[in-house]
Chain A
Protein backbone atom coordinates (compact mmCIF):
# COMPACT_ATOMS: atom_id res chain seq x y z
CA UNK A 1 0.00 0.00 0.00
CA UNK A 2 2.84 2.39 0.78
CA UNK A 3 4.35 1.53 -2.59
CA UNK A 4 1.03 2.38 -4.27
CA UNK A 5 0.93 5.72 -2.45
CA UNK A 6 4.43 6.68 -3.56
CA UNK A 7 3.77 5.51 -7.12
CA UNK A 8 0.60 7.62 -7.44
CA UNK A 9 2.30 10.60 -5.81
CA UNK A 10 5.24 10.41 -8.21
CA UNK A 11 2.88 10.26 -11.21
CA UNK A 12 0.95 13.23 -9.88
CA UNK A 13 3.96 15.44 -9.17
CA UNK A 14 5.70 14.65 -12.47
CA UNK A 15 2.60 15.23 -14.59
CA UNK A 16 1.81 18.44 -12.67
CA UNK A 17 5.31 19.71 -13.43
CA UNK A 18 4.83 18.77 -17.09
CA UNK A 19 1.55 20.75 -17.13
CA UNK A 20 3.53 23.83 -16.14
CA UNK A 21 6.55 23.31 -18.34
CA UNK A 22 5.10 22.00 -21.61
CA UNK A 23 4.65 24.70 -24.22
CA UNK A 24 1.77 23.21 -26.21
CA UNK A 25 -1.60 23.68 -24.42
CA UNK A 26 -2.92 20.34 -25.73
CA UNK A 27 -0.02 18.53 -24.03
CA UNK A 28 -0.78 20.44 -20.84
CA UNK A 29 -4.38 19.21 -20.91
CA UNK A 30 -3.29 15.60 -21.46
CA UNK A 31 -0.83 15.77 -18.55
CA UNK A 32 -3.51 17.34 -16.37
CA UNK A 33 -5.82 14.42 -17.18
CA UNK A 34 -3.08 11.98 -16.11
CA UNK A 35 -2.64 13.96 -12.89
CA UNK A 36 -6.39 13.81 -12.19
CA UNK A 37 -6.59 10.07 -12.78
CA UNK A 38 -3.74 9.54 -10.31
CA UNK A 39 -5.65 11.74 -7.89
CA UNK A 40 -8.70 9.49 -8.27
CA UNK A 41 -6.41 6.63 -7.24
CA UNK A 42 -5.49 8.62 -4.14
CA UNK A 43 -9.18 9.07 -3.34
CA UNK A 44 -9.67 5.32 -3.51
CA UNK A 45 -6.69 4.83 -1.17
CA UNK A 46 -8.33 7.32 1.21
CA UNK A 47 -11.62 5.35 1.25
CA UNK A 48 -13.44 8.07 -0.69
CA UNK A 49 -14.89 5.86 -3.40
CA UNK A 50 -17.81 8.14 -4.24
CA UNK A 51 -15.48 11.12 -4.62
CA UNK A 52 -13.16 9.11 -6.85
CA UNK A 53 -15.98 8.35 -9.27
CA UNK A 54 -17.33 11.92 -9.17
CA UNK A 55 -13.81 13.25 -9.71
CA UNK A 56 -13.34 11.11 -12.82
CA UNK A 57 -16.75 12.10 -14.20
CA UNK A 58 -16.62 15.82 -13.40
CA UNK A 59 -12.95 16.63 -13.93
CA UNK A 60 -11.67 14.31 -16.63
CA UNK A 61 -15.07 13.86 -18.19
CA UNK A 62 -16.45 17.39 -18.24
CA UNK A 63 -13.93 20.06 -17.31
CA UNK A 64 -10.98 18.72 -19.27
CA UNK A 65 -13.16 18.08 -22.32
CA UNK A 66 -14.32 21.70 -22.04
CA UNK A 67 -10.68 22.84 -21.97
CA UNK A 68 -9.83 20.70 -24.99
CA UNK A 69 -12.93 21.95 -26.79
CA UNK A 70 -12.02 25.60 -26.25
CA UNK A 71 -8.39 25.02 -27.28
CA UNK A 72 -9.44 23.29 -30.48
CA UNK A 73 -12.25 25.78 -31.19
CA UNK A 74 -9.92 28.77 -30.91
CA UNK A 75 -7.10 26.91 -32.69
CA UNK A 76 -4.71 27.72 -29.88
CA UNK A 77 -2.26 24.90 -30.44
CA UNK A 78 -0.67 26.85 -33.25
CA UNK A 79 -0.80 30.24 -31.56
CA UNK A 80 2.76 30.73 -30.37
CA UNK A 81 2.78 32.93 -27.33
CA UNK A 82 6.21 34.20 -26.28
CA UNK A 83 7.20 33.03 -22.84
CA UNK A 84 7.73 35.40 -19.98
CA UNK A 85 11.17 36.87 -19.51
CA UNK A 86 13.91 34.74 -18.04
CA UNK A 87 13.94 36.74 -14.80
CA UNK A 88 10.18 36.34 -14.28
CA UNK A 89 10.35 32.61 -14.91
CA UNK A 90 13.24 32.08 -12.52
CA UNK A 91 11.51 34.12 -9.85
CA UNK A 92 8.29 32.12 -10.39
CA UNK A 93 10.17 28.88 -9.74
CA UNK A 94 11.88 30.38 -6.68
CA UNK A 95 8.53 31.64 -5.35
CA UNK A 96 6.94 28.23 -5.75
CA UNK A 97 9.85 26.49 -4.05
CA UNK A 98 9.94 28.95 -1.16
CA UNK A 99 6.18 28.66 -0.69
CA UNK A 100 6.53 24.86 -0.55
CA UNK A 101 9.30 25.06 2.06
CA UNK A 102 7.51 27.61 4.25
CA UNK A 103 4.15 25.83 4.32
CA UNK A 104 5.83 22.48 4.83
CA UNK A 105 7.85 23.81 7.75
CA UNK A 106 4.74 25.38 9.25
CA UNK A 107 2.63 22.21 9.05
CA UNK A 108 5.22 19.60 9.94
CA UNK A 109 3.97 17.27 12.66
CA UNK A 110 1.50 19.75 14.06
CA UNK A 111 -1.67 17.74 13.58
CA UNK A 112 -2.58 15.06 16.04
CA UNK A 113 -5.59 13.12 14.92
CA UNK A 114 -8.16 12.29 17.56
CA UNK A 115 -10.94 10.68 15.49
CA UNK A 116 -14.48 11.44 16.58
CA UNK A 117 -15.68 8.08 15.32
CA UNK A 118 -13.98 4.66 15.30
CA UNK A 119 -12.23 3.75 12.08
CA UNK A 120 -14.40 2.23 9.38
CA UNK A 121 -13.52 1.68 5.75
CA UNK A 122 -16.91 2.75 4.40
CA UNK A 123 -17.28 6.46 5.20
CA UNK A 124 -16.74 7.33 1.56
CA UNK A 125 -19.46 5.11 0.16
CA UNK A 126 -22.52 6.67 -1.44
CA UNK A 127 -24.66 5.77 1.56
CA UNK A 128 -22.64 7.64 4.17
CA UNK A 129 -21.84 10.66 2.00
CA UNK A 130 -25.46 10.88 0.89
CA UNK A 131 -26.66 10.83 4.50
CA UNK A 132 -24.34 13.72 5.36
CA UNK A 133 -25.24 15.57 2.16
CA UNK A 134 -29.00 15.39 2.55
CA UNK A 135 -29.24 15.86 6.31
CA UNK A 136 -26.71 18.46 7.40
CA UNK A 137 -25.91 20.08 4.06
CA UNK A 138 -29.27 20.15 2.33
CA UNK A 139 -29.50 23.97 2.07
CA UNK A 140 -26.02 24.43 0.52
CA UNK A 141 -26.84 21.62 -1.88
CA UNK A 142 -29.95 23.43 -3.06
CA UNK A 143 -28.11 26.76 -3.20
CA UNK A 144 -25.51 25.22 -5.52
CA UNK A 145 -28.23 24.92 -8.17
CA UNK A 146 -28.66 28.71 -7.95
CA UNK A 147 -24.89 29.03 -8.40
CA UNK A 148 -25.09 26.86 -11.51
CA UNK A 149 -27.92 28.95 -12.97
CA UNK A 150 -25.97 32.16 -12.41
CA UNK A 151 -22.81 30.59 -13.89
CA UNK A 152 -24.77 29.47 -16.93
CA UNK A 153 -26.33 32.91 -17.43
CA UNK A 154 -22.91 34.52 -17.02
CA UNK A 155 -21.28 32.18 -19.51
CA UNK A 156 -24.02 32.83 -22.08
CA UNK A 157 -23.76 36.58 -21.55
CA UNK A 158 -19.98 36.49 -21.99
CA UNK A 159 -20.21 34.26 -25.02
CA UNK A 160 -22.73 36.42 -26.86
CA UNK A 161 -21.46 38.79 -29.49
CA UNK A 162 -22.08 42.36 -28.38
CA UNK A 163 -23.80 44.48 -30.96
Chain B
Protein backbone atom coordinates (compact mmCIF):
# COMPACT_ATOMS: atom_id res chain seq x y z
CA UNK B 1 0.00 0.00 0.00
CA UNK B 2 2.83 2.37 0.86
CA UNK B 3 4.56 1.43 -2.39
CA UNK B 4 1.49 2.15 -4.50
CA UNK B 5 0.80 5.52 -2.91
CA UNK B 6 4.33 6.65 -3.73
CA UNK B 7 4.24 5.34 -7.29
CA UNK B 8 3.68 8.80 -8.77
CA UNK B 9 7.03 9.90 -7.39
CA UNK B 10 8.72 7.39 -9.71
CA UNK B 11 6.60 7.69 -12.86
CA UNK B 12 7.10 11.00 -14.69
CA UNK B 13 4.09 13.12 -15.61
CA UNK B 14 5.08 13.01 -19.29
CA UNK B 15 4.15 9.32 -19.40
CA UNK B 16 0.61 10.12 -18.35
CA UNK B 17 0.37 12.96 -20.88
CA UNK B 18 1.57 10.60 -23.61
CA UNK B 19 -0.90 7.90 -22.58
CA UNK B 20 -3.91 10.18 -22.55
CA UNK B 21 -2.97 11.83 -25.85
CA UNK B 22 -2.69 8.34 -27.36
CA UNK B 23 -6.12 7.38 -26.01
CA UNK B 24 -7.66 10.63 -27.26
CA UNK B 25 -6.28 10.12 -30.76
CA UNK B 26 -7.51 6.52 -30.82
CA UNK B 27 -10.97 7.82 -29.92
CA UNK B 28 -10.77 10.50 -32.62
CA UNK B 29 -9.69 7.90 -35.14
CA UNK B 30 -12.62 5.70 -34.15
CA UNK B 31 -15.15 8.51 -34.57
CA UNK B 32 -13.91 9.05 -38.12
CA UNK B 33 -13.49 5.33 -38.82
CA UNK B 34 -16.77 3.66 -37.88
CA UNK B 35 -20.24 3.94 -39.41
CA UNK B 36 -22.16 2.28 -36.59
CA UNK B 37 -23.51 5.07 -34.36
CA UNK B 38 -23.09 2.97 -31.20
CA UNK B 39 -19.41 2.45 -31.98
CA UNK B 40 -19.06 6.19 -32.51
CA UNK B 41 -20.59 6.78 -29.06
CA UNK B 42 -18.14 4.30 -27.54
CA UNK B 43 -15.22 6.12 -29.12
CA UNK B 44 -16.59 9.36 -27.63
CA UNK B 45 -16.46 7.64 -24.23
CA UNK B 46 -12.79 6.85 -24.87
CA UNK B 47 -12.07 10.52 -25.51
CA UNK B 48 -13.96 11.53 -22.34
CA UNK B 49 -11.88 9.08 -20.35
CA UNK B 50 -8.55 10.26 -21.67
CA UNK B 51 -9.45 13.76 -20.46
CA UNK B 52 -10.44 12.28 -17.08
CA UNK B 53 -7.13 10.45 -16.78
CA UNK B 54 -5.12 13.58 -17.55
CA UNK B 55 -7.11 15.65 -15.01
CA UNK B 56 -6.54 13.01 -12.35
CA UNK B 57 -2.83 12.85 -13.15
CA UNK B 58 -2.41 16.63 -12.82
CA UNK B 59 -4.46 16.65 -9.63
CA UNK B 60 -2.34 13.93 -8.08
CA UNK B 61 0.95 15.49 -9.10
CA UNK B 62 -0.16 18.82 -7.64
CA UNK B 63 -1.51 17.11 -4.48
CA UNK B 64 -4.76 19.04 -4.94
CA UNK B 65 -8.10 17.18 -4.71
CA UNK B 66 -10.01 19.83 -6.73
CA UNK B 67 -9.06 18.16 -10.00
CA UNK B 68 -10.57 14.88 -8.85
CA UNK B 69 -13.85 16.69 -8.10
CA UNK B 70 -13.79 17.90 -11.71
CA UNK B 71 -13.39 14.31 -12.89
CA UNK B 72 -16.38 13.39 -10.77
CA UNK B 73 -18.48 16.07 -12.50
CA UNK B 74 -17.27 14.90 -15.92
CA UNK B 75 -18.46 11.40 -15.03
CA UNK B 76 -21.89 12.83 -14.14
CA UNK B 77 -22.09 14.64 -17.48
CA UNK B 78 -20.96 11.51 -19.33
CA UNK B 79 -23.71 9.44 -17.70
CA UNK B 80 -26.37 12.00 -18.72
CA UNK B 81 -24.90 12.21 -22.22
CA UNK B 82 -24.97 8.44 -22.69
CA UNK B 83 -28.60 8.23 -21.58
CA UNK B 84 -29.68 10.88 -24.09
CA UNK B 85 -27.41 9.54 -26.85
CA UNK B 86 -28.66 5.98 -26.55
CA UNK B 87 -32.28 7.15 -26.60
CA UNK B 88 -31.44 9.01 -29.83
CA UNK B 89 -30.04 5.70 -31.16
CA UNK B 90 -33.27 3.92 -30.26
CA UNK B 91 -35.31 6.65 -31.96
CA UNK B 92 -33.11 6.48 -35.06
CA UNK B 93 -33.45 2.71 -35.26
CA UNK B 94 -37.22 3.05 -34.98
CA UNK B 95 -37.49 5.74 -37.66
CA UNK B 96 -34.97 4.75 -40.33
CA UNK B 97 -34.50 1.05 -39.43
CA UNK B 98 -30.73 1.39 -39.31
CA UNK B 99 -27.90 2.68 -37.13
CA UNK B 100 -25.76 3.87 -40.03
CA UNK B 101 -24.54 7.45 -39.48
CA UNK B 102 -24.28 8.04 -43.23
CA UNK B 103 -28.09 8.08 -43.36
CA UNK B 104 -28.17 11.15 -41.11
CA UNK B 105 -26.50 13.53 -43.53
CA UNK B 106 -29.13 16.20 -44.04
CA UNK B 107 -27.31 18.67 -41.82
CA UNK B 108 -24.48 18.71 -44.35
CA UNK B 109 -26.49 20.81 -46.79
Q: Which residues of B contact A107 (CB under 8 A)?
A: 17, 21
**How far is the CB of B44 from the nearest CB of chain A, in Å?**
11
User: Are the CB atoms of A99 and B64 closer together than 8 Å?
Assistant: no
**How far is the CB of B82 from the nearest CB of chain A, in Å?**
5
> Contact check: which of B27, B38, B43, B63 meets A71 at CB < 8 Å?
B38
A120 at interface, CB cutoff 8 A: yes
User: Are the CB atoms of A147 and B77 closer together than 8 Å?
Assistant: yes
User: Are the CB atoms of A137 and B69 closer together than 8 Å?
Assistant: yes
Q: Give the complex CA separation of A117 and B62 in angstroms.
A: 7
User: Are the CB atoms of A123 and B25 closer together than 8 Å?
Assistant: no
User: Are the CB atoms of A132 and B73 closer together than 8 Å?
Assistant: no
Q: How many residues of B contact A (CB 8 A)?
A: 79
Q: Which residues of A contact B96 (CB under 8 A)?
A: none
The interface bits of chain B over 17-51 (1 if a CB of A lies within 8 angstroms of the residue's CB, else 0) are: 11101111111111011111011011101100100
User: Are the CB atoms of B57 and A46 closer together than 8 Å?
Assistant: yes
Query: Known: A20-B26, A66-B82. Contact between A108 and B14, CB under 8 A?
Result: yes
User: Are the CB atoms of B56 and A17 closer together than 8 Å?
Assistant: no
Chain A contact-residue range equals: 35 or more
**How far is the CB of B109 from the nearest CB of chain A, in Å?**
19
**How far is the CB of A14 from the nearest CB of chain B, in Å?**
10
> Contact check: which of A71, A91, A99, A158 meets B84 at CB < 8 Å?
A158
Q: Give the complex CA separation of A79 and B92 in angstroms.
A: 14
A34 at interface, CB cutoff 8 A: no
B105 at interface, CB cutoff 8 A: no
Q: Which residues of A contact B36 (CB under 8 A)?
A: 25, 76, 81
Binding site for A on B (CB under 8 A): 2-11, 13-19, 21-30, 32-36, 38-39, 41-43, 45-46, 49, 52-53, 56-57, 59-66, 68-69, 71-73, 75-84, 86-91, 93-94, 98-100, 102
7 A-B pairs within 8 Å (CB atoms) are namely A20-B43, A25-B38, A43-B53, A63-B78, A92-B29, A109-B14, A132-B65
Q: Can you name 10 extra interface pairs (CB under 8 A) apart from A100-B25, A111-B17?
A: A20-B26, A28-B38, A51-B68, A70-B86, A81-B35, A99-B25, A131-B65, A133-B72, A140-B73, A161-B94
